[in-house]
Structure 1
């Protein structure tokens, strides 16, 4: 009887292990956010003039200058936690495909000043009640690494 129980337990563990191995995770890495401008499917970065920050589409991270370094974070810094990403203007950086778009920050800051509006934009997705989900938790959420060595 003990052998039968052990055999049954072994079968249950084997079946449950097989079931877990068939679970798939669908992560949208490299997918533009719903607040991103429509019509640009193969872009790496946006520059957000109103908050003087970049958005890395592939990594789903904001890049901004804070505490003397360029910071990568899933959220905007605390002072922009209520920034409306759907209505804010996004400059699509079609011509840059490296890892440090902020190397051109001085030029971007002058060319795309705070309040800059270029061609009218339409967002990829519809705005919903959670439209600021990238910025609401902006306080205290630093990056997983500070790859930036750029200067302000």
Structure 2
């Protein structure tokens, strides 16, 4: 009976320590710092989507029906857009929690590109 109790206890402890390691690992992301602005390079801006990706939280910020949403994935109406092939821009002058407040500025600095190639 002691062996069974020990095995159950061991499995429980390993599961708890593993889940703790996974949950703390995501928050320890080390972001690069832009030396000119002294901001973390935390966001990618996708000009063709007018959306952002947060490297710290691993979520997208995008507009839908006039309001900003936060999600780990883009909605289906963004389908067909390859995040890896299409262009994105590293935002180097903002590292707060609401990058979409600078959308008008980013639209001017990084205009929509019909070909979708890197800028």
Query: Does the residue aligned with 2:7 lie in a helix, a strand or coil?
Result: helix
TM-fit CA distance, 1:88: 1.0
- Structure 1 runs of 4+ off > 2 angstroms? 7-32
2:8 aligned with 1:13: yes
Higher relative contact order (CA 8 A, sep 6+): 1
Aligned length: 105
Give unpaired runs (5+ residues) of structure 1.
33-41, 122-152
For residues 113 and 51 of structure 2, the distance between their equivalents in structure 1, rounded to whole angstroms, comes to 13
Matched with 2:22 is 25
More helix by share: 2
Question: What is the CA–CA distance in structure 1 between the aligned matches of 2:65 and 2:54, rounded to whole Å?
Answer: 20
Q: Which runs of 5+ in 2 are unaligned?
A: 32-39
Are 1:49 and 2:44 an aligned pair?
A: no
Q: What TM-score do you get using the length of structure 2 for normalisation?
A: 0.70
Find the aligned partners of 2:108 and 2:10 in 1 and give their Cα distance: 61
Rg larger for: 1
After superposition, the CA RMSD in angstroms is 2.8
TM-score (normalised: structure 1): 0.57
Structure with a larger share of its residues in strand: 2
State whether residues 49 and 116 of structure 1, in contact with CA within 8 Å, keep that contact through their aligned partners in structure 2. no
Distance 1:116 1:91, change over 3 A: farther
